[in-house]
Amino acid sequence: MNLNIRRVVTGHDSKGNAKVEIDEIGTAKKNPRPGAEYVELWSTDEGFPISNDVFSDPVGKKIGTSIDKGTVFRVVKFDPGVAPRNHRTDSIDYGVVISGELDMELDDGVVVHLKAGDCIVQRGTIHNWINKGAVPCLVAFILIWAKPVTIDGKQFDAHG
């Protein structure tokens, strides 16, 4: 399965009228995690509120899983047997399973099975994505910067 995700981005002309700035198939990138690749659709790193005044395509910037004071929008393909990666982000992550099936494994061993159409809200927890199926799974993720999780005065920073 090719990761052919169309990316359409709007902006404004000099009179403030809407226009299409980008209409293309996004470039797939290999994830450092074997068995996963992604298309970066958009990101911001200027804090909140986000400005829509000036157009500058951020896709060429090197970023991590999430961005301090920013947002990330990407589609990830998890192949069957994708390598494990337990991780926590300093973000709130909204995910929508587009196709295929995937298991979300939490650090306490709880496993939640997800299929096309299911939505995930990941709130700074340690988790792993596992594809035990026979076909790749596509998930659209929107990651929005959040404070690190703090419980009873102990801070749990991003890792993995």
Q: What is the DSSP string of 82-134?
A: PPP--BB-SEEEEEEEEESEEEEEETTS-EEEEETT-EEEEES--EEEE--SS
Dist CA 83 CA 125 (whole Å): 19
- Domain with 49 in it: what CATH number? 2.60.120.10
Region of 16 (left: φ > 0; alpha: ψ -120 to 50; beta: rest) is left
**Residue 140: what pLDDT?**
98
**Residue 2: what pLDDT?**
80
Helices (H) and strands (E) in the chain, counts: 0, 13
**Residue 159: what pLDDT?**
84
Is residue 2 assigned to a domain? no
**Burial class of residue 99, CB neighbours in 10 A (0-12, 13-18, 19+):** middle
Is residue 109 assigned to a domain? yes
**Residue 92: what pLDDT?**
97
Is residue 7 assigned to a domain? no
Q: DSSP letter for 3, please.
A: -
Specify the number of domains making up the chain. 1
Is residue 144 assigned to a domain? yes
The closest alpha carbon to 32, from 75, 95, 84, 103, belongs to: 84
Tens place of pLDDT per residue across the chain (160 aa): 688 999 999 999 999 999 999 999 999 998 888 999 999 999 999 899 999 999 999 998 988 889 999 999 999 999 999 999 999 999 999 999 999 999 999 999 999 999 999 999 999 999 999 999 999 999 999 999 999 999 999 999 888 7
Q: Model's pTM, two decimal places?
A: 0.93
Structural domain for 91, as ranges: 29-149
Is residue 71 assigned to a domain? yes
Is residue 97 assigned to a domain? yes
Is residue 4 assigned to a domain? no
